[in-house]
Amino acid sequence: MAIDNGSNGFSNSKYSMLSETQSALRKLLQVAQSEIPSECVPLVESVRFTTDNKGTPDFPCPFKETEATGALKAVEAGVASAIANLVLGERERSAVVDLERASCFLFSTYLATVGGFDKADPKAKTLLKDTDLKAAQSNGYRRLSANLYETKEAGKYFHLHGSLEATMALRMIGLPGHNPELTDYHDCINTIESHVKNFTLDELEALNAKHKQAGVSCLKPEEFKATEHGKILASEPPWTIATLESSSPPVPFHRVPSQTSKPQILAGIKVLELCRIIAGPSIGKGLAEYGAQVIKVTAPNLSDVPFFQIDVNLGKHTCDLDLKTAPGRKAFEKLLQEADVVLDGYRPGALERLGYGPKALVELTKSRKRGIVYVAENCFGNKGPWASRPGWQQIADCATGVAWEQGWFMGLNEPVVPPFPMSDYGTGCMGTIAALTGLYKRAKYGGSYSGATSLCQYDMFLLSLGVYEKNLQEQLRRVHDPEFFTLRHFDSVDEVGRRSLKTMRKVHPELFDDRSKMNGCGHGVSKHRDVTRASYSKGFKAEVKYVCPVVEIEGTWNGWVRQARPNGFDEPTWDGWEVDEDMLKI
């Protein structure tokens, strides 16, 4: 059967995004069964998927990313529907997951704009707060301290990662932390790779451990599965929920008046988010989407990526607090007394060393006789020999074998980090599910709960779905821009993202354009709803474009009621929650 792929003629593929997503959901319900309340499962199974897709997957990669995220969003919708029943009364209510929006969710920060400027436009910097305190993002040479390079052993690769600091990773391999003379993209790559090639994988791993860096050997899928850590994670669900204490009474949800046209299920819920970059803040963004008051707490002396705040700070208030100082701790602990949820996106053990681990949070809040929900997100998970290692999206993609699969798909015998921070966003969705589940259990049974998830666990779920069949991979290679397939292992995530956007705009314009103006439709018609909207941000003093919510639940209003703002914009208080009326116009 000939299927129109949207912009490149016809294909004989029988690919169905709907059926693949439904299959992914069945798999997810199997592997995560222990973490989903049994009464929520029928609600998850009743979620409806919609799509305009016509037979070509959305991304130039072999992974079922849209399908995996669609399945995760269905679980999120099911648990959210159960909460809606507690807030609004038990009834049948439809829930819908828009798969085009699910795809866009996975590269939200690349679709976001501020003042009309996207992430790649240098003019955007003029509207952002400079939180790149050590120029680990803005300086090309230092930026490439976080990149994939070949080692002394031909055919073996190591992902160096300077995190948000860069200097230590560069010095570790014998390079200066700063090199003002080195500005050309390829010269930077050649210089750094030539120094990485002085070391074997074992030597780099030893240096990495000595200097507490986030780098990792780039493993093939079967190599990761054979490691002790891979074996342990394989026996774990994608996210977990554990009881911290069971003595505090149930905390029922209350319907809180709001300016939205329908109730928001988490209105009145208060969240403290101690996270940076994408994955952790995406959990808070997800909770804000359901109406929670989320305060993102960052330290003024710690770096964060400036542009990401355009996306992940949607719906929140933001404040700066130094938790290593007495005034900062006092202000945080005052906020904590009213908090329902605490999100931890820092390196494993970091908050515990500050006295704010999950057990300490329960102790600090026990006098109020109201339980708390703690959710931690990290790179390698909470069990296994690598649990304490730091890491980022690229590190998880290299450790688990995702990067090698991407390279093979591209016709290479080398790894390539896949397009976009998709494992970041997928992990953020799993963290949102964990938080929603903890709140649901607290309302039903009382107690306090600890949720956990990781980038590697998202990647393992993704890989468990398998890659696309050979003919479909050939179709993807045929329809996408040949320039994309000239990428190599050493190309930066920025370059991979740039070429991905270029080819996806051609193959899938519906992910970028106003769908209401497009002709034709696919299966499970999505009514051609737009994938993005824009409104004015007081914090950035410019219009900000953002990706629309993926989930819609009957009888509730899903979305953000205030625009994004930069880190440290607000005072550390639960008072003064404004509503941006432009955000209510859905």
For 399-427, what is the mean pLDDT? 99
**Of 136, 196, 209, 165, nearest in space to 389 by CA:** 209
Name which of 133-142, 224-233, 510-519 the model is least confident about. Answer: 510-519
DSSP 529-574: --SEEEEEETTTTEEEEEEPPSEEETTS--S-SS----TT-S-S-S
How far is residue 5's CA from residue 9's CA, in Å, rounded to a whole number? 7
In single-letter form, the type of residue at position 185 comes to Y
Taking 80 as the threshold, does the pLDDT of residue 164 lie above it? Answer: yes
For 122-134, what is the mean pLDDT? 98
- Record the tokens describing residue 222, joined without a space: 């079967």
For 556-584, what is the mean pLDDT? 98
- DSSP label at 451? E
Strand duo 113-114 + 95-98: pairing: unpaired
For 172-190, what is the mean pLDDT? 98
Distance of CA 10 to the CA centre of its chain: 33
CA atoms within 13 A on the CB side of 293: 20
Q: Within a 10 A sphere around the Cβ of 571, how many other Cβ atoms?
A: 11
How far is residue 152's CA from residue 169's CA, in Å, rounded to a whole number? 17
Taking 60 as the threshold, does the pLDDT of residue 517 lie above it? Answer: no
2-22, pLDDT tens digit by residue?
A: 223 333 333 445 899 999 999
Is residue 106 within 8 A of residue 425, CB to CB? The reply is: yes
Looking up tokens 């069990």, which residue turns up? 383
pLDDT at 513: 76
How far is residue 523's CA from residue 538's CA, in Å, rounded to a whole number? 40
pLDDT at 525: 39
- DSSP label at 417? P
Average pLDDT, the chain: 95
Taking 90 as the threshold, does the pLDDT of residue 142 lie above it? Answer: yes
pLDDT at 586: 65
Phi-psi region of 542 (alpha: psi -120 to 50; beta: other; left: phi over 0): beta
Strand duo 95-98 + 551-553: pairing: antiparallel
**Of 320, 317, 287, nearest in space to 303 by CA:** 320
What are the residues whose beta carbons fall under 8 Å from the beta carbon of 433, sequence distance 6 or more? 72, 75, 76, 79, 239
For 116-144, what is the mean pLDDT? 97
Q: Within a 10 A sphere around the Cβ of 548, how many other Cβ atoms?
A: 19
pLDDT at 258: 87
220-238, pLDDT tens digit by residue?
A: 999 999 999 999 999 999 9
How far is residue 367's CA from residue 370's CA, in Å, rounded to a whole number? 8
Domain ranges of the chain: 125-216, 238-386+429-439+445-450+531-584
Taking 60 as the threshold, does the pLDDT of residue 131 lie above it? Answer: yes
- Record the tokens describing residue 479, joined without a space: 């329809």
248-302, pLDDT tens digit by residue?
A: 999 999 999 889 999 999 999 999 999 999 999 999 999 999 999 999 999 999 9
Taking 70 as the threshold, does the pLDDT of residue 394 lie above it? Answer: yes
443-470, pLDDT tens digit by residue?
A: 999 999 999 999 999 999 999 999 999 9
pLDDT at 405: 99
CATH of domain 238-386+429-439+445-450+531-584: 3.40.50.10540
Order of strands across the sheet with 216-217? 147-150, 157-160, 216-217
Looking up tokens 């808070």, which residue turns up? 284
Percent of the chain past pLDDT 90, that is, above it, reads 94
Is residue 94 within 8 A of residue 48, CB to CB? The reply is: yes
